[in-house]
Amino acid sequence: MLPRTKDLKIREALVTKIDLQGRCVWLTGASSGIGEALAYELARRGARVAITARRKELLDDIVAKIAATNGEARSFPGDVLNLDEMKRVVDDIERSMGPIDLAIPNAGTHIFSKPEQFDSAEYLSIMQLNFGGVLHCLEAVIPRMLLRGRGYLAPVASLAGYRGLPRAAAYGASKSALIHFLESVRFHLQPKGISISIVNPGFVKTPLTDKNDFYMPFLISAERSAKIICDGIERGKRTIAFPFPLSWIVGLGKFLPAPVYERIVDQLW
């Protein structure tokens, strides 16, 4: 049964825009790549940034660079694979910086899948980090947002989660699970004042993608990626998918018959 027009208007009205100026933002996976670029961009827009990753020395260097530009950032090291650590990190952030307005769980990794040399442990390890790590972050922060009746979540998934791609079975499955999860919990959290933007990047130049040995169409810089993400959050976009040419192609691919989709992918990769 289709939703009534009135219900659609109410749901659309609940998509909240956010001005990053002065907001407390918790960002994981902040020590390199998109995360590091996001830390700088958030601080440039006036956010008070709490950054998390495993390597404290890298976080401290980023904090120092942000301070040199009169921005505000603090380091809260931790491993997203450890739920207790994430709860401790959130407690430390809110005790020292105030309530978290926006959480951006970004930590993740990528490996090339080789189904011909199938290793289930490899697939499960990627799922645990890329999907389970986000769940740990959300379990740590969502109860506090629910108590306040407000909050914003912008977990980083991927265009690779839209449909199967060569050598991306492990990575794509983890991101697909994350997208599905976020689309589902949005029904429950949005009416309670918690907005969700799902961030789906394409190919972004980072130390991770520097290892790729194949052509990456529409590759963009981490700095450009961070600006697009922050723009999307400030506009309250439900899905922040980029870069545009690739996001359009991959988005269309969800609706193509399998033989047509597979032929296009074969041409691109």
In a domain, 1, yes or no: no
Summarize pLDDT for 98-143 with one digit per residue, the tens.
Answer: 999 999 999 998 777 777 888 899 999 999 999 999 999 999 999 9
Q: Which residue has the higher pLDDT, 7 or 211?
A: 211
In a domain, 4, yes or no: no
In a domain, 211, yes or no: yes
Residue-by-residue DSSP string for 93-124: HHHHH-S-SEEE----------GGG--HHHHH
Which of these is catalytic: 40, 152, 162, 171?
171
In a domain, 3, yes or no: no
Summarize pLDDT for 167-209 with one digit per residue, the tens.
Answer: 889 999 999 999 999 999 999 999 999 999 999 998 888 777 6
**Three-state secondary-structure class, residue 181:** helix
Per-residue pLDDT band at 1 (split at 50, 70, 90): very low
In a domain, 2, yes or no: no
In a domain, 261, yes or no: yes
Query: How many domains, in total, are found in the chain?
Result: 1
pLDDT on residue 10: 44
Structure tokens at 30: 């902040």
In a domain, 48, yes or no: yes
The amino acid that residue 4 corresponds to is: R
Distance CA 88, CA 133 (A): 15
pLDDT on residue 212: 66
Lowest mean pLDDT among 43-52, 91-100, 166-175: 166-175
**Three-state secondary-structure class, residue 32:** coil
Distance CA 153, CA 1 (A): 29
Helix 133-148 vs helix 83-97: crossing angle, to nearest 10: 40
Report the residue count for the chain.
Answer: 269
In a domain, 229, yes or no: yes
Distance CA 179, CA 198 (A): 7
pLDDT on residue 13: 40
Give the number of other Cβ atoms within 10 Å of residue 257's Cβ.
Answer: 8
| Predicted TM-score (pTM) of this structure | 0.90
Which residues have C-beta within 8 Å of that of residue 205, sequence separation ≥ 6? 219, 220, 221, 222
Could you tell me the residue range of the domain that residue 186 belongs to? 18-268
Check which CATH number belongs to the domain holding 190 and give it.
Answer: 3.40.50.720
Per-residue pLDDT band at 231 (split at 50, 70, 90): very high
Active site residue 171: yes
